[in-house]
Amino acid sequence: MDAIFLQILNGLDKGGAYALIALGLTLVFGTLGVVNFAHGAIFMMGAFCAVTLEKLLTLSVKVKDESVTFFDAYKETPYLELWFGDTGTAIIDWSVPLSIILAIPVMLLIGIVMERFLIRHFYKRPHAEQILVTFGLAIVLQEVVKAAFGANPIPQGAPDIVSGSAAVGALFGLGEAVVYPWWRLIYLAFSLMTIGLVFSFLHFTTYGMVVRAGMADRETVELLGINIERRFTIVFGIAAVVAGLAGVMYTPVLPPDYHLGMDFLVLSFVVVVVGGMGSLPGAVAAGFLLGILQSFSSMTEVKDIFPGIDQIIIYLVAVVILLTRPRGLMGRRGVMES
């Protein structure tokens, strides 16, 4: 029982990341009709926003270490600590959450630039060409990041106060041994909140309603004299922000490296397909579902019965779903079907 509970929790935070990436992918499919293979790279860029901010905050200078008295010793001290003392240290400690403030405008800008200068010209071109050009872009982005930050993963710490584990077991009347890292709980809450925000934007604002109408029937919306293309640009930007924030917050869970994007891209496409192309709730549900499934399949008890199942479970599910329910769990009719 304890183990099962823990596996579900384990799956939920990973599922949260899948859901956030898949949400953006689906939004872009549904509105622009574009298959974006660079979406994983956007997630990765978000993660590197956090890395960049941390690097900026910890810009250091060599200061004489007073505690060593036998000889002249120097230690690296961040400017922030020199200038602001303990406040500076706290700022550095909170660099990951602070990165959100940086990531929102940066990712929005990246998204809008991408849409304006590249994606826009591929609305009417075949899906194969969309896949290829965004695949090329993904390679370019990841190589640029590799050139700038090197090939090794760069660990990011969560703020000290939440770096421990929560005794969730006691909370739910389970064993005391059931503990779970605070940060991953925060990630789960964060992803739920972001998903909630995106959905309320789409459902409760006029802007969002127009976008949804455009998803359902673009021509009619345009006939009403609404400039849907401009809104779609913003939608692309929002998708980029969502993926970017997912990346920022994921850094304490998984140290980012340049091929993080490609790793998550395939998975999130699988999530989208399982959820049903063009279905936002489908993408979210499938994200969490596959996350949980994956964490169950990596239990040793399961692996003993099906060796290697943890490596392929998600793909296997995708194959089965595509063959039995071509439209996915919640797919709409006629989306991406020739």
Partner 1 sequence: MSNTKIVSPKKDMIFMAILSAVVLTMPLWLQPFGAAYPDLMQKFMIFGIFAIGYNILFGLTGYLSFGHAAFLGVGSYTAVWSFKLLSMNVIPALIFGTVLSGLFALAIGFVSLRRSGIYFSILTLAFAQMSYNLAYSVLTPITNGETGLQLEQADPRVLDRMSGIVADGSLPTPNLFGIEGIGYSGFYICAALMLISFFIYLRIFRSPFGLKLRAIKSNQNRMGYTGFSTRPYLMTAFVISGMYAGLAGSLLAVTDPLAGAERMQWTASGEVVLITILGGVGTLIGPLLGAGIIKYFENIFSAFNDTVLLNAFSFLPDWLAHPVASLVGLFVGEGWHLTLGLVFMLIVIFLPGGIMEGISRLSRLVTNRGKSDSHENKEKEQTSAGEV
Q: Least Å distance between CB 216 and partner 1?
A: 20
Please report how close the Cβ of residue 254 comes to partner 1 at its closest, in angstroms.
17
The CB-of-230 to partner 1 minimum distance in angstroms stands at 22
What is the smallest separation between the CB atom of 223 and partner 1, expressed in angstroms?
28
Nearer to partner 1, 82 or 147 (CB): 147
Q: Which residues bind partner 1 (CB under 8 A)?
A: 35, 118, 121, 125, 127-129, 131-133, 135-140, 143-144, 146-147, 262, 266, 269-270, 273, 277, 307-308, 311-312, 315-316, 318-319, 322-323, 326, 336-338
Is 114 or 249 the residue whose CB approaches partner 1 more closely?
114
173 or 308: whose CB is closer to partner 1?
308
Nearer to partner 1 among residue 40 and residue 237 (C-beta): 40
Cβ closer to partner 1: 132 or 254?
Answer: 132
Please report how close the Cβ of residue 262 comes to partner 1 at its closest, in angstroms. Answer: 6
Three-state secondary structure string covering the chain: CHHHHHHHHHHHHHHHHHHHHHHHHHHHHHHHCCCCCCHHHHHHHHHHHHHHHHHHHCCEEEEECCCCCCCCCEEEEEHHHHHHCHHHHHHHHCHHHHHHHHHHHHHHHHHHHHHHHCHHHHCCCCHHHHHHHHHHHHHHHHHHHHHHHCCCCCCCCCCHHHCCEECHHHHCCCCCCCCEEHHHHHHHHHHHHHHHHHHHHHHHCHHHHHHHHHHHCHHHHHHCCCCHHHHHHHHHHHHHHHHHHHHHHHCCCCCCCCCHHHHHHHHHHHHHHHHCCCCHHHHHHHHHHHHHHHHHHCCHHHHHHCCCHHHHHHHHHHHHHHHHCCCCCCCCCCCCCC
Residue 75 beta carbon to partner 1: minimum distance, rounded to whole angstroms: 30
| Residue type present at position 9 | L
Task: Tell the smallest beta-carbon distance from residue 322 to partner 1 (Å).
Answer: 6
Is 75 or 127 the residue whose CB approaches partner 1 more closely?
Answer: 127
Cβ distance to partner 1 smaller for residue 137 or 235: 137
